[in-house]
A = this chain, B = another copy of it.
Amino acid sequence: MLGDPVRRRILEVLAHGEQAAGTLADVIGTDFGISQPAVSQHLRVLREQGFTQVRADGARRLYAVAPAALREADAWLDQFRGFWEQRLDALGTELARGQHERRRRVDGAARSDGPPDGGQSVGA
């Protein structure tokens, strides 16, 4: 769902306030080089999955963020907060001790490929 960069971008734009479908079609369409129907289809998915809500303004359709579904994602992430807090705590402790012994992890284990890579990977 939110694995799609177009849909993530749409939500980012909507994070600044509601927007007409046409504006989104322009902005997003230009950004990604896709057509008005393509954007409209993404809007439909976001709408049907509860990520956005729409209201009519004359012939226009104004889209806005509807946080319910996003909160679900947030709630899911809760399960993992322990992990990074733990990790941050460990880091904090290390820093507090004055990070002299910068011990490198030398487990004989083969770290498999794939760098964590800065790329976007948010998503449902």
Residues of chain A whose beta carbon lies under 8 Å from any beta carbon of chain B: 1-3, 8, 11-13, 15-19, 23, 27, 47-51, 53-57, 65-74, 76-77, 79-81, 83-84, 87, 107-124
Partner of A3 from the list B2, B74, B79 (CB cut-off 8 Å) is B2
Q: How far, in Å, is A109 (CB) from chain B's closest CB?
A: 4
For A47, the chain B residues whose CB sits under 8 A away are 112-114
Report Cα–Cα, A124/B83, bound state, in Å. 19
Instruction: Show 9 residue pairs from A and B whose CB-CB distance is below 8 angstroms, ordered by the A residue.
Output: A2-B2, A2-B121, A8-B76, A57-B109, A69-B116, A71-B84, A73-B77, A74-B74, A77-B122
Report Cα–Cα, A116/B17, bound state, in Å. 10
